[in-house]
Amino acid sequence: MQLNFIQVILVLIVAFLAGMEGILDEFHFHQPVIACTLIGLVTGNLIPCLILGGTLQMIALGWANIGAAVVPDAALASVASAIILVLGGQGTKGVGSAIAIAVPLAIAGLLLTIIARTLATAIVHIMDRAAEEGSFAKIDFWQWVAICMQGLRIAIPAGLILAVGAGPVRSLLGMMPAWLTDGLSIGGGMVVAVGYAMVINMIATREVWPFFALGFVLATIQQLTLIALGAIAVSLALLYIAVTNNSSNNGGNGSNDGNNSGVGDPVGDIIDNY
């Protein structure tokens, strides 16, 4: 598929915003489901890109920076794989191939992330000297430079992929052997399971496990739509809030020296104890 000039500019803008949001984290343009959907919207391939974004979002669900460990670049993986999917012109049939190369792209994006953060360290020292001079204009200027550098971290690779064109991209996808695409697809599926398991492990408590099991069972009923599942989830949440509030009120009038530990919202108790 060939993109016109306006579509190319819009894709680059989305890529630039995704790179910036990787640091700002305000509007979540760097999240796969949003970045891929926006690229699909501006290129006229909304459905395939939405499917791609939802799948990549499940993969990136458990990615989190811990200490000095930097997670794979979800923004680059989302933007690059969505562009490749669009240029390949395969529609929903090309989602599997796009997912297969998204994880290697995310890992390769770590190099760009390290370079950008290394340059940002130098910019911080420049801003420190500007602060000593009392120059707020310089501080603001270098802040914009650092943020725009993060945007270019994604926009430049996106522009290079767009410059290559649909023909080489389609040839590259066709040259990938079946064992490689199948292996990457299986690996990506395993990453989805591991990422989701990490999230469950973080939020799991004795009080919420029954709700998880109930939701898991209800999700297997094919007659229930997403709207029905959402309504059931909201109802269960309201029931849970009502029960916990009632328990908190009763617990406050009981014994145990007024200590309500373990009574009420378990997540709130964990945070308070922490």
As given in the structure block, the two tokens for residue 123 are 């910019």
Interval 234-265: pLDDT, tens: 888 888 888 778 766 665 554 444 444 444 55
Least confident of 13-22, 71-80, 88-97: 88-97
Q: Is the pLDDT of residue 12 over 90?
A: yes
Q: Which residues of 148-184 are buried (b: 16+ CB within 10 A; e: fewer)?
A: ebbbbbbbebbbebbeeebeebbeebeeeeeeebeeb
Q: What is the 8-class DSSP label of residue 2? A: -
Could you tell me which residues are beta bridge partners of residue 66? Answer: 69
As given in the structure block, the two tokens for residue 78 are 């989302």
Length of the chain: 274
Dihedral pair phi/psi, residue 66, rounded to 5°? -125, 110
pTM of structure: 0.64
CB distance 117 to 73 below 8 Å: no
Domain residue extents for the chain: 5-203, 209-273
Interval 80-105: pLDDT, tens: 889 988 888 777 887 877 887 777 77
Amino acid at 88: G
Q: Is the pLDDT of residue 268 over 70?
A: no
- In angstroms, the CA 254 to CA 225 distance is 43
Q: pLDDT band at 10, cuts 50/70/90?
A: very high
